[in-house]
Structures are given as structure tokens and as C-alpha cells.
Structure 1
Amino acid sequence: MKIAKITTQKNRQDRFNVFKVESGKEEYAFSIDENVLVQWQLQKGMTLTEEDITAIQAADQKRKVWNDALHYLTHSMRTEYQVIQYLKKKEYEEEAIEESIKKLKEYRLLQDEEYAMAFVRTKMNTSDKGPAVISEDLYQKGISKDLSEKALQQYTYDAQLETAQLFLRKKGKPKSNESSSSMKNRLLHALRRKGFSMEMALQAWENEQVELPVNEEIQAVFVQGEKAKKKWQKKYTGQSLRMKVKEFLYRKGFELSHIEHYLQYEMEVDEEDENEEKI
């Protein structure tokens, strides 16, 4: 193939279009990166063999992989796994990807350990996540177990406890007509979902002493009790209804003393009203 001319692409000043002479006419042949152009010293009138063209295009793809990898890394830190997956989606050949990854490591542009350390510090300072969730996040990004454990050493016991307690201070409020037991279970489970151990969650709860005011819990017992009574009073009466309501309130996590108070006060009043109506 004889090169007819080489022109700069309109939208990419670092890429060039190579044209060939075919049957006395100029035709587009292929495009290449500026570095490949310089490396091969391509110019008008040069004759290329099929082997030359294959080698040039292989070198060009490697350059494309390298440029795309660099562009991907300019926006934020990435893990080796993330860069590989990004390049694979572009359907580059494995050999070209491996070569770029190796070069990125040599230039210290790709360092999983540094990424893991920075990731843990960021999550510690900007989120309410516990170590288990952060570890899972690192795993999803391709960080090895050893590097993950090393990075999480930064997240000390005291730092975890502080984060867990801050979460309780922000979220430690009862829902409408909720028992203190239900509130505690809900918040402890929330901390577990955040990635804290049960030991850590319980310690944070004890330190914060999150409690539901007694008057609010008693009010909640009465509200929930009335709901249960209305639900079953057509099917049950007397002692059967009392037991059904008692079971319902107990499952809701209310203290027995508060449940008995409701049953004694509210349901006995209802029974007296029923007796008066019969008379």
C-alpha cells in the first residue's frame, strides 16, 4: 500500500487519517494516533506491506487503550479491577489491556492499596457506614481481602463507636405509637445494616441511653390497644378479647406493666358499659 496523504482529524488533533492510492484514486485506509505516526515516521509516498499495516494498527490499538485508561483515571481514583472492566467494555484485546495496566502500575497511576486507604478514610469522615459495609464496597471494587483488612485498621474501635452514637443521636426517635422495645430493636438492626457489629451497636445504645419517655409509651399502648380491640371485638368478647389484645400488645414489644394498666383501665370500663346496657 502506498500512502497518498495524511490528514489531521477534525475533532481529534491527536489522531490522523491515512489515505492510500487505489486504482489511481485516493481512498481512506485507516486512522492512527499521533505517537504511532511519529514512531513509524509515516509520510506521503511511503509504501507499506500488509505486515506493516497490521503492526501499525496493533500499535494504534495499544495507544487507544492507554489513552482511554488515562482519561478514565483523570476523573477520580480507580482500582485495577475497575479500569480493566472499563477497557473490556470497549472490547479491547486482552493483551493490549494487560500492557496498559502494567504500565499504569509502573507509573504509579494505579495503586489498589492507596485507593483502599483513601476510600476507607473518606467513608469514615463523610458517611455513617460501619466496617462490614465498607468492606463489601471495597470487594465490589475489586480490592483484595488483605488490602481491605489493612485499610480498615484505620477505622478504630473508638471511631466506629463515635459514628454509631452519632447515628443514634440523629435517628434515635420513636415512630408513631411505637414501644421502647420495638424502637431499640429497630435502631439496633439499622446499625447492623450500616455495617456495625452487634457488640458495637449495643455499646453505642448503652452510651447514648436512648429511651422512650414513659408517658409516650403508655399513650402508645392505649392507641395500639384500641386498634386491636376494634379489630377483634366483633369476633371475641370478655376474657377472650382481653387475651387477644394482650398478646397483640406483647408482640409489639410493650412492657407487661403498661399492658396490664391498659387492660385494667380501658377494657374494664368497656365491660362495665356493656353490663349497664344489658341492665
Structure 2
Amino acid sequence: MPKIISLYPIKRKKHWFEIRFDNKSFFPINDELILKYLLKSGKSLNKSEIEKLRSEAGHLFLKRKALDILSRRRVSERELRQKLKVERRFSHHTDKVIKDLKNVGLIDDMTFAVSVISSILIGGPKSKMYIRQKLYQKGIPKDIIDKAIESELADYDEEQGALELARKKYKAVKSIPTLKAKKRVADFLRGRGFSWDIVNYCLDILFTKND
């Protein structure tokens, strides 16, 4: 039977070790499993024991990677799956890890979508199209985007939001020639995803009133 020849600490991965066997096989393992199975140099394990240990360790390693990602910022399920792809040797554990995280609420695309919408609007009014695009870029599925926008923006008045922004921009450009000022206001609103209908609505109000 293969015998453990070393348990070597992995740099920059606290509580993780590389377990090596005399048949030249090796894989990462954490201290939890070392204690659970009383592993130490010189101990022999049969093939089924090693495969069971490798599977448990792989699942825990990928889960730790996922938790490290989520500790920095919240992400969608699709984003997390993409980030976990770098750990190719443990990719077969991805579905189980995602399921574990969903069960404890650490992956919840609807909650994530709502928080993204709130963050976007903190910076000022944006169009629903702009918000929809940002949610899509975050990897949130279309059906959840639709539900989140319907839930959070049911009473959102895009025209008034655009007009609020346009008035602020107008104050900064009103001293320049009218055509240039109109273009800058229009570009400003278009950059925030507002349609030409809404842009023209704002231009008509601002420049008719102030001509």
C-alpha cells in the first residue's frame, strides 16, 4: 500500500498541506482532514482510502477558493463558476460547491441583482437599459434580471431621472454655444443608457425654456 512520506505546508494557504506518497502521487489536503484521519508520515493507505481522501480534499479546496472569492466581493453564480475554472483539477467538484453555497445563502442571484441595482442608483439616475446591461455583465440570468427590475424599479420614472441629470449637466455647459451644449447634454444622457426619446424630451424642456 502507498505510504505517506511527507505533509508539507503550502505557501500562502493557511491550514493547507501537500500530502505526498512513496508512489509519487500527491495532492493538497487541509489540517481538518489530517486530524480526521490521523494522517502522518509513515502511515499507509489503500487505494480506496486515498481516492476518498483526494475527493474530500478536492471538494474542500475548491470550496475554500470560492469562499475566498466571496470574501472580497459578492458575485453571481456564473461569475463564480468562471473564477473557479482556474482550478481545473478540481472542476468536477464545482456543482457540489455551488450547491453548498446556495444552501447557506452565499450564492443568491436575486439578492445580488437587487444589491447591484441599489449600488448603481447611488451614483445617480440611470436608464433601465443601462441597469439591465450592467446586471447582464455581472452574469445574472435574464429571468432574474427581469424579476429584479420589475421588483425594484416598478415606480421608477426614467424621464424624471434623466431630466434631473440633464439639469445638472446643463449648468456646466450653458455658457457655451447652444448646439455644443445640446450635444454634451445628449452625450451625457446617452452614456447612461437613456433612449433618444428621453434625451430629446430633456433637451426640449431645457433648451426651449432657457433659449
TM range (shorter): 0.7 to 0.9
Give the CA deviation at 1:212.
8.7
Aligned to 1:115: 112
| Residue identity (%) | 23
TM-score calculated relative to the size of structure 2: 0.80
The structure with the largest alpha-carbon Rg is 1
Give the CA deviation at 1:156.
4.7
In 2, are the aligned partners of 1:174 and 1:212 still within 8 Å (CA)? no
| Residue pairs, 1:240-279, within 5 angstroms | none
| Residue pairs, 1:1-279, within 5 angstroms | 1-4=2-5, 6=7, 8-9=9-10, 11-20=12-21, 29-153=26-150, 154-156=152-154, 158-172=156-170, 173-174=173-174, 176-179=176-179, 183-184=181-182, 187-207=185-205, 209-211=206-208
Structure with greater contact order relative to length (CA < 8 Å, sep ≥ 6): 2
In 1, are the aligned partners of 2:62 and 2:90 still within 8 Å (CA)? no
In 1, are the aligned partners of 2:130 and 2:192 still within 8 Å (CA)? yes
Measured on the aligned residues, the alpha-carbon RMSD in Å equals 3.0
In 2, are the aligned partners of 1:17 and 1:28 still within 8 Å (CA)? no
Task: Encode CA deviations 1:114-169: one digit per residue, 9 max, x unaligned.
Answer: 00011111111224431101101111222122211222232355543343122212
Distance in 1 (alpha carbons) for counterparts of 2:120 and 2:28 = 44
Distance in 1 (alpha carbons) for counterparts of 2:25 and 2:42 = 15
Aligned residues between the structures:
207
Runs of at least 5 residues in structure 2 that lack an aligned partner in the other structure: none
Give the CA deviation at 1:108.
0.8
Distance in 2 (alpha carbons) for counterparts of 1:95 and 1:107 = 21
TM-score calculated relative to the size of structure 1: 0.63
Distance in 1 (alpha carbons) for counterparts of 2:103 and 2:92 = 17
Runs of at least 5 residues in structure 1 that lack an aligned partner in the other structure: 215-279
